[in-house]
Amino acid sequence: MKAIQINQTGDTDVIKYVDIERPTPEKTQVLIKTSAIGVTYGDIMVQHGVYPIMPDLPATLGFECSGIVESVGEDVTDLVVGQSVAVMGTMGCYAEYVVADATMVMPVPDSIDKDLVAAFPITYLTAYHMLHSMGRIEKGQTILLYAAAGGVGTAVIQLARLAGVNVIGLTSSDDKASYAKEQGASHVINYKTEDVVQRVKELTDGKGVNLVLNSLAGNTLARDFEVLANMGQIIWFGFSAGYPQENLTEVVGNHFMKSTGIRTFTLYNIFENQEIFSSSFKVLLNYLNEGKIKPHIHEILPLAEAARAHQLMESSVVKGRLVLKP
């Protein structure tokens, strides 16, 4: 079968379109024929060798896809051959076939477009649990959202709108700002041309925001604490600007009297709790089926052009998601 693999980490020239043997499912696994594949920032991090949990090399890339069940292991009882499914949290999705543990495979209606199914699980589960499980956000509150035009950003805006939550988005261009507003953001700040702290204070009448969703880190956390309202919190969930550069003890101490805090988030903790994972996926699948949420697909590319997809992701031009087709 055709697949995208890396034998070493580095720039996009390490990404190879290769022929490999089709995998065989073990007792608790499922073999899926992929229909569409979501490109995630996690894939970019694996390519560069900076993902927190690096696979052994050579490795087939890809963390999520949609597809059809081809075969099941002898201990799998809740999935059947021919069933439409979503696969997530499983390395190896950049291929014509992927093997996944049955717990990471969720049935979906045949009627939902396979491209949308591939583009929604990781980003919308991340957004949902940051807003509700971690952030405990309430109707009428306000969040500051980094990368508001990205895949997770799109999901956060749409889910926040359903919950009656105001979103102040951060983007790097006026084009992305327009997109974020179209998705439902209340306000958008171009952080390259505007003073973020000043604008947030203006937009919140000096109160600040209740929640910051930060996928960047780098040198941004001190600013985040500046814009938090009393008893607000930061959820740090990404590394696109690297690990925090500030002295966090000092930063937190400077805002001690505001009773603010910072937490990290990774979706793996949700995957490890099957009850929460399954129930939240079903909630989001219903939203998708009812048209309450909809991933924005920036472009669909052939699997063979995975390297170009990664180049697009790193160029910061993508709004929403990229999808690969095997």
pLDDT in tens, 49-73: 988 889 999 999 999 999 999 999 9
Domains, the chain, with CATH or none: 2-120+295-325 (3.90.180.10), 124-264 (3.40.50.720)
Residue 57's pLDDT is what? Answer: 94
308 φ/ψ angles, rounded to the nearest 5 degrees = -65, -35
- What is the chain's Cα-based Rg? 20
Q: Considering only CA atoms, which of 247, 244, 168, 235 is closest in space to residue 208? A: 168
pLDDT for 53 equals: 86
Report helix angle 151-163 to 121-128, nearest 10: 50
- Find the largest Cα–Cα distance for the chain: 60
CA distance 177 to 183: 10
User: Is residue 37 within 8 Å of 69, Cβ to Cβ?
Assistant: no
Q: What is the pLDDT of residue 241?
A: 67
Number of neighbours of residue 231 by Cβ within 10 angstroms: 10
Give the integer Cα–Cα distance in Å for 272 and 276: 9
Sign of CA dihedral 128, 130, 134, 139: negative
130-166: pLDDT as tens digits: 999 999 999 999 999 999 999 999 999 999 999 999 9
pLDDT computed for residue 246 by the predictor: 78
SS3 state at 57:
coil
**How far is 70 from 81, CA to CA, in rounded Å?**
5
Please check whether residue 233 is in contact with residue 261, taking contact to mean a CB–CB distance below 8 angstroms: yes
Residue numbers of the chain with a pLDDT score lower than 50: none
pTM for this structure? 0.94
